Amino acid sequence: MNLRIVRGDATPEEIAALVVALAARDTGTARPAVLKGESWRNPARGMRKPLTPGKAAWRNSALP
């Protein structure tokens, strides 16, 4: 990577910060990872499981 300052008077700390920012951008780690727990978009979420008798049967009958 070639870096050339064409205008201004940058300090070594500012140049180091710029190099770190550009290097981090090139690694591809800046993109957020896809979350596997996003079940609200899953079409199978609306499908109900078979109802089983028991204490919570009335509650499970209303939930998908």
What was the pLDDT predicted at 14? 92
Q: Is residue 8 part of a domain?
A: yes
Overall number of domains in the chain = 1
Give a yes or no: residue 25 inside a domain. Answer: yes
- pLDDT (tens digit, 9 = 90+) per residue, 2-56? 788 888 899 999 999 998 888 887 666 545 666 666 667 777 777 777 777 888 7
Residue 1 vs residue 25, higher pLDDT: 25
Range of the domain at 6: 1-30
What pLDDT is stored for residue 34 in this prediction?
61
Q: Return the H-helix or E-strand segment holding 2.
A: none
The model scores a pTM over 0.75: no
